């Protein structure tokens, strides 16, 4: 996590150094503008295509991991033995919500501002603190659970 933070900070520092703080603040995609300025000996140019392709492939794998995690959680939550039975319903939900969220860039920005203001604090602070409190209360006052095969593997 620290390595990711350092790489992200260095990337933003390079973008600010190349574009300047004014253009960096106004640009929707400062990385794309920064990469488009690369020109090494009139040989390496137009690297923005490679960067965009890398971002698209990276986002594909990120979404695939999120969908797989949702599949595992849903199969555990609904006690479904075969995870493949939930692939189509979860894929349909992801597709429909992706199409409903925002149809254009200003709509996407507006949804993002709503998410950062309300949902991000809820999911990153409130719910984890509640879960920790519930865990500590159960650990302190709860009765001991019977041994299960999962406990023996630990």
For 36-80, what is each residue's pLDDT tens digit? 888 777 777 778 888 889 989 999 999 999 999 999 999 999 998
Q: Residue 15 in contact with residue 30, Cβ under 8 Å?
A: yes
> 69 in a domain, yes or no?
yes
Q: Residue 32 in contact with residue 52, Cβ under 8 Å?
A: yes
Neighbours of 99 (CB within 10 A): 9
Written as six digits, the tokens of 137 are 């209360």
Say what the pLDDT of residue 141 is.
87
Q: Can you name the residues that pair with 40 across neighbouring β-strands?
A: 44
101 backbone dihedrals φ, ψ, rounded to 5°: -60, -60
The number of domains in the chain is 3
Do residues 87 and 49 share a domain?
Answer: yes
Do residues 3 and 23 share a domain?
Answer: yes
Q: Does residue 148 register a pLDDT over 70?
A: no
pLDDT over 90, % of the chain: 42
pLDDT over 70, % of the chain: 92
Do residues 23 and 58 share a domain?
Answer: no
Do residues 22 and 57 share a domain?
Answer: no
> 147 in a domain, yes or no?
no
> 25 in a domain, yes or no?
yes
CA distances from 37 to 30, 55, 76, 145 (A): 11, 18, 49, 62
């Amino acid at each position: 996590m620290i390595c990711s933070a350092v790489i992200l900070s260095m990337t933003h520092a390079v973008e600010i150094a190349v574009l300047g703080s004014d253009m960096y603040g106004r640009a929707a995609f400062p990385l794309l503008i920064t990469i488009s300025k690369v020109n090494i000996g009139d040989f390496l140019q137009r690297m923005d295509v490679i960067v965009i392709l890398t971002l698209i492939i990276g986002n594909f794998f990120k979404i695939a991991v999120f969908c797989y995690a949702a599949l595992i959680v849903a199969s555990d939550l609904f006690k479904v033995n075969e995870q493949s039975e939930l692939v189509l319903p979860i894929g349909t939900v992801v597709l429909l919500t992706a199409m409903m969220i925002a149809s254009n860039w200003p709509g996407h920005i507006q949804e993002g501002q709503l998410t950062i203001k309300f949902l991000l604090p809820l999911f990153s602070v409130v719910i984890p603190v509640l879960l920790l409190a519930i865990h500590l209360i159960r650990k302190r006052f709860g009765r001991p659970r019977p041994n299960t095969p999962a406990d023996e593997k630990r």
